[in-house]
Structure 1
Amino acid sequence: MRSLPYVKTSFTFNRTFSATIPFGAVALISLVSSSGCKFVGTDYQAPQVAVPDAWNQHIIGSPVGVLAVDYWWKQFKDESMNQLIDAAIESNKSLAIAYERVLQARSARQISNSALFPAIDGVGGISREGTSENVGVPKAAGGGDSDTFYSVGADLTWELDVLGGVRRSIESADAGLQAVEESYRDFMVLLIAEVARNYLDVRTVEERIVLAKQNIENQKGSLKLANDRFAAGLAPKQDITQAQTNLSDTQAFLPQLRQQRTTTVNRLAILLGGYSSAVETLLGEHEIIPMPPQGTEIETPAEVLRARPDIRAAERQLAAQHARVGVAEADLYPRFALNGNFALLSNDKGDVFESGSRAYGFGPAFRWNLFSAGLVRSQIDIEESRTREALLEYENAVLGAVEEVETSMSGIANERDRLQSLKLGSASAKETVFLIKDNYSKGLVDFQYVLDAERTATRIEDSYAVSQGLLAQAYIALYSALGGGYPDGEVELNRSK
């Protein structure tokens, strides 16, 4: 059985309160209720979750410092990426929704806090009343007369938080607000990473389009060479048809790439809260696939957990739920209140504000749920179960954070090795195409060698461009896994959307 991350207090209550409370006790009740003591529930202590002392995966390379995660996108030194991210932070609709939830949580906290104070209502009225001539008092004795009554005053109700149930509710609302604020920061982390990923998708597809066009020009040259050799009677017609087939296959690849780019630009438009025309303006001309500095170290797992807003949000959600146990426990015990009213009553409007019109009443009261057929105990059990659930969610968030960092570091190391191999392969493939076409023009090899070489070059060059994009995206995944984004002090939560 998993234990809760809190220890039950030894403070106990018994149901022996008297139905009549002396007025001298009112002062004591008020003092206790305003002293900050919380007898229901237990004080929250953040759970200690074991994390590895060091990472299992490593980014191979010569360390040049600790990986900077604040404003990490600026390390790519790409102005278009910077502008897209700034535009997304300013206008993304989902981020605006997340901010509205912060405002809602602040108002919910204020609602909880208001329960500590008395509720005062102003009351007043004018009524015209008449009695029946045929019921009760006969007409000769005044029956059937009518009169006007005027009243103005105030009613007061103050539920005293003697046992701390209201303060537990405020504690829960405070932690809930902090959790929503951290969720806002977490969404910003994810938004920045998503914009950067889609931007890299655009640049990667553009690079693939450039390479495809270059290969199309090379294959057009091969088709011309085959035509020239056929016209000279040095090659069969099948060399022409094969060259045309290879060229058409590569040309058919271009529309697919253009569609991928259009889809990604439209996705960026959604992230920026606008339309694709504005995105195209920010993208500008085709640029190379940007890459951040390499060879940096990663902070320890414990430091990473402190930096991730989703981990902090999960911990604050646990704290909020923990306090709700005390709120539920408060229903086991009496609730004390001070009630009062003051009024000015008169049947002559000229006398309403005279001292003789005063009427008042005040005194303490309590309400105690003596029998609920197990409802209160069951609600406490539910809240305790939800607290254990929140603890498990927090532990899951920690495990997920470690997994994301490990996976992204592994992705960087492996993609870097792959990119290096593709870089060598791309250079050798280009040279192979040149050599084989030269040999074909001299009649030393048949056209099949040219086709194989060109297909290999097309494939490996495209893979090289894709690998560049994947390596850059692996760094983005690492920055996101480390909770990278704006420094906490610079995330403005007081702006209006």
Structure 2
Amino acid sequence: MRKIFYALTILSGIGCASTRISAKDNSTGYLNENMPASWNYSTSVTASEPPEDTDWWLNFDDLLLDSLIDEGLKNNYNVSMAVKRINVANIQVRQAMSGYYPTVGLSGAYNYSRNAGAISGSSVPSSTSSHFSLGAKMNWEIDLFGKIASQVKDKKSLLKVSKADFDGAMLSIAANIATYYMNMRTFQEKIFVTKEHLASQAKVVEIAKARFEAGLVSKLDVTQAESVYYSTEAQIPQLETSLNEAVNALAVLLGVYPDAIRPRLSAAFIPPQYRHLVATGIPADLLRRRPDIIAAEAQLESYATRIGIAKKDYLPNLSLEGTIGVAAHNAKDLFGKNSVEYSITPTLSWTLFDGFSRKYAVQEAKEQLEEGIDNYNLTVLTAVNEVDNAMSSYLASLQTMDSNSNGLKQSTESFDLSVSLYKQGLTPFTNVVDAQINTLTYANSLITARGDALVSLINLYKALGGSITAQ
């Protein structure tokens, strides 16, 4: 059956472009020559030597993250269910292959019958007969036109779908674990930084109190200092709640209870690196390894095969039926020379009319294929969008980090100057308050941007189906 080519709508690196695919690619059976060769963005980020494509999380160089993902991939219930679906698909392939072989059965019986003599005449007496029998029966449907082979091919395509779904589950779970881990680290860092600022603000409160007690300023300075202090203190419970939720989410993904991993997660850590992971010019061809695209393509193969199966129902069926056994009136004569009986019945059957059932079956298979083509196109389009969004989000996060880093540097200097001038009575306390608020705001924004950059990288790996390397 001739191959069907699939329409594909794609996005370019920055703008949008709609194209249709109408040629065949020798490597995969589908062509995406109109897809952009790579995603090029203006960035100074340089690439490091990447790990294996499937172990993309090793890029973050975080041993705890590595161990968590390893545990999650072993214990997660979604992975376990995906493995069982692969086992079912394997069994279905073997079940379809059983159609190549004949069906053989054994039988044994004792028959006792009475024939009415009145059938022949009113004076004819009835007669009885009895006999024992043993035998074997064989039925074999010859795969004359390849229908069974097509059914096996269909099941093998569905096995590919199950394997791709398993890979997709593994990729999704690893990405979710990494995302919640980065979120957890972001909240931990925010709590640490907030407590540092809280200690600094406590010192400012003491300075304001000392100047008030010395009669140099009014109590307004003290209340303003304490207001900033308590406002900062109020942020900690919220951050701790968010941290706890991230830990609970990680526990679910790992298939354990939170207390089992909490001690490891509370240990000191070094924030993951994020500026050396992405190179400019990511090949768009990497999308072909995405599990959902592989699954959509395998599903299309299954739909195309089903059209062939439906059309083969128009052709005749050839089957071979045979029996062999022994029969005798007395059980002791079952294996005598005159007790053997057998029959061989080759049968060619051909359905000429079935109320158009086969016609509608072919139409149904064609509609399923059209639906599969639409799903394939949508899957690829979604993949391109996800890569584009992840890349732009990552680069935007880097720019935001640079801005917040500069802002934090200036606000920290402003805070130090304002406190020094306030001690000398050369500036109002409102300048100290503004500097305190701005410093904490920039610090939190910088941490948030760093977390966003890490999550964007995770989304990029997930969108590409692995590390950013050509296969």
Tell me the TM-score normalised to structure 2 length. 0.86
Q: Does 1:112 align with 2:96?
A: yes
Q: Does 1:301 align with 2:284?
A: yes
Q: Does 1:226 align with 2:226?
A: no
1:229 & 1:65 partners in 2: Cα distance? Answer: 55
Q: Does 1:379 align with 2:361?
A: yes
Of 96, 100, 103, which residue of structure 1 is paired with 2:80?
Answer: 96
Moved more, 425-434 or 321-330: 425-434
In structure 1, the residue corresponding to 2:100 is in which secondary structure? coil
Please list the CA deviations of residues 360-393 of structure 1 after superposition, one character each: whole Å capped at 9, or x if unmatched.
2221223333222222111111111211221222
Q: CA deviation at 1:108?
A: 0.9
Q: CA deviation at 1:298?
A: 4.5
- Quick one: percent identity of the two aligned structures? 27
Moved more, 476-485 or 195-204: 476-485
Residue 18 of structure 2 is matched in structure 1 by: none
Moved more, 202-211 or 244-253: 244-253
Q: Is the 8 A contact 2:45 2:280 kept in 1?
A: no
In structure 2, the residue corresponding to 1:71 is in which secondary structure? helix
Please list the CA deviations of residues 284-330 of structure 1 after superposition, one character each: whole Å capped at 9, or x if unmatched.
5031321243452454212x133323222211111111000011111
2:431 corresponds to which letter in structure 1? Y
Moved more, 276-285 or 53-62: 53-62
Residue 12 of structure 2 is matched in structure 1 by: none
Q: Is the 8 A contact 1:67 1:296 kept in 2?
A: no
In structure 2, the residue corresponding to 1:353 is in which secondary structure? coil
Of 303, 309, 331, which residue of structure 2 is paired with 1:321?
Answer: 303
Residue 22 of structure 1 is matched in structure 2 by: none
Residue 15 of structure 1 is matched in structure 2 by: none
Tell me the TM-score normalised to structure 1 length. 0.82
1:315-354 correspondence runs (5 A): 315-354=297-336
Q: CA deviation at 1:131?
A: 3.9
Change (3 A) 1:306 1:115: same
Change (3 A) 1:258 1:63: closer
1:261-276 correspondence runs (5 A): 261-276=243-258
Please list the CA deviations of residues 169-224 of structure 1 after superposition, one character each: whole Å capped at 9, or x if unmatched.
11111111112112211221222111111111111110000011111112212222
Q: CA deviation at 1:130?
A: 5.7
Q: Does 1:193 align with 2:175?
A: yes
Q: Is the 8 A contact 2:118 2:125 kept in 1?
A: no
Change (3 A) 1:215 1:486: closer
Change (3 A) 1:323 1:295: closer
1:486 & 1:121 partners in 2: Cα distance? Answer: 57
1:367 & 1:164 partners in 2: Cα distance? Answer: 16
Change (3 A) 1:63 1:51: farther
Residue 14 of structure 2 is matched in structure 1 by: none
In structure 2, the residue corresponding to 1:361 is in which secondary structure? strand
Q: Where in structure 2 are there 5+ consecutive unaligned residues?
A: 6-27
2:399 & 2:434 partners in 1: Cα distance? Answer: 25
Residue 62 of structure 2 is matched in structure 1 by: 78
Change (3 A) 1:237 1:135: farther
Q: Is the 8 A contact 1:136 1:143 kept in 2?
A: no
Change (3 A) 1:398 1:66: farther
Of 112, 132, 136, which residue of structure 2 is paired with 1:154?
Answer: 136
Q: CA deviation at 1:67?
A: 5.4
Q: CA deviation at 1:73?
A: 1.5
2:450 & 2:257 partners in 1: Cα distance? Answer: 28
2:367 corresponds to which letter in structure 1? S
Q: Matched residue pairs, number?
A: 444
Of 44, 47, 50, which residue of structure 2 is paired with 1:61?
Answer: 44
Residue 29 of structure 1 is matched in structure 2 by: none
Of 148, 153, 161, which residue of structure 2 is paired with 1:171?
Answer: 153
Residue 8 of structure 2 is matched in structure 1 by: none
Q: Is the 8 A contact 1:151 1:343 kept in 2?
A: yes
Q: CA deviation at 1:269?
A: 1.0
Moved more, 316-325 or 420-429: 420-429
Q: Is the 8 A contact 1:81 1:196 kept in 2?
A: yes
Q: Is the 8 A contact 1:62 1:296 kept in 2?
A: yes
Aligned-residue RMSD, C-alpha: 2.8
2:116 & 2:349 partners in 1: Cα distance? Answer: 43
In structure 2, the residue corresponding to 1:150 is in which secondary structure? strand
Moved more, 234-243 or 478-487: 478-487
In structure 2, the residue corresponding to 1:5 is in which secondary structure? coil
Change (3 A) 1:461 1:63: closer
Change (3 A) 1:110 1:59: farther
Q: Is the 8 A contact 1:57 1:406 kept in 2?
A: no
Change (3 A) 1:227 1:379: same
Residue 4 of structure 2 is matched in structure 1 by: 5
